[in-house]
Amino acid sequence: MKAYIYDNVEGDQRLPHHDPSLPELSTDQLSAYGLLYQHIPIDTDQNWEQAIDLLAQERSYKNRDIIDISKESMGDQYEAKLKIFFHEHLHEDEEIRYILKGAGYFDIREPSSDQWIRISVTSGDLLVLPAGIYHRFTLDEGNYIRAMRLFKDEPKWTPYNRSTDTDANPHRVAYLESLRPTVSAQ
């Protein structure tokens, strides 16, 4: 995992958009925004599955599935889906992703400055985004990712695109309130 300020330079969303002159962000800095990050290496003796099972038990995740995002797996829907994933949105539930293969980027909005923070994820990275955080997702130039999604209840993925309504969404408000001690709210 690598996290840094998104450079906002026009161009393909699948490019790194990284200004190497700026420092990278640490996992501690990401945790200040409510993110949880772990690296659980994919190995051949299935220890990663035990680690995921333990995490699921600790955080009350009851369901999971595996999603492949690629031109081959999604066919004609690929480009449209990638645009949907990259549109700024929030969820009313945590978004939990464990990367099994491939690579991509989660971008989160820094609440006080509104700038994007890009988080590069690859095989073995587990990322938990809190409910109410504005974010988006895209693949990298490899155009492929296989990820396990974990859910507290029935699997669902309902994005709420950023608007004045989502700014007032109770999950958004609760998220910003949870940051007050460490980050000034918008």
Average pLDDT over residues 102-118: 96
Mean of the per-residue pLDDT values of the chain: 93
pLDDT in the model for residue 155: 76
**Residue 166 is assigned to a structural domain of this protein:** yes
**Residue 31 is assigned to a structural domain of this protein:** yes
Average pLDDT over residues 34-60: 91
- What residues form the annotated binding site for Fe(2+)? 89, 91, 95, 135
pLDDT in the model for residue 182: 54
**Residue 148 is assigned to a structural domain of this protein:** yes
Whether pLDDT at 154 is above 90 = no
Of 4-18, 28-42, 45-59, the one with minimum mean pLDDT is: 45-59
**Residue 185 is assigned to a structural domain of this protein:** no
| Percent of the chain clearing pLDDT 90 (strictly above) | 89
**Residue 186 is assigned to a structural domain of this protein:** no
H/E run at residue 66: strand 63-70
Whether pLDDT at 151 is above 60 = yes
Give the other-Cβ count within 10 Å of 128's Cβ.
Answer: 18
- What residues form the annotated binding site? 89, 91, 95, 135
pLDDT in the model for residue 185: 44
Cα separation values, 161 from 11, 132, 141, Å: 22, 11, 25
Amino acid code (one letter) for 113: S
| Percent of the chain clearing pLDDT 70 (strictly above) | 96
Higher pLDDT, 152 or 116: 116
- What residues form the annotated binding site for Ni(2+)? 89, 91, 95, 135
Total number of domains in the chain: 1
Residue range 130-147, pLDDT digits in tens: 999 999 999 999 999 999
**Residue 33 is assigned to a structural domain of this protein:** yes
**Residue 184 is assigned to a structural domain of this protein:** no
The domain in which residue 60 lies consists of: 2-179
CA separation for the pair 185, 179 (Å, rounded): 7
CA separation for the pair 184, 27 (Å, rounded): 19
Return the C-alpha torsion angle 69, 70, 75, 78, nearest 10: 70
Whichever domain contains 72, its CATH number is 2.60.120.10
**Residue 138 is assigned to a structural domain of this protein:** yes
Average pLDDT over residues 24-33: 96
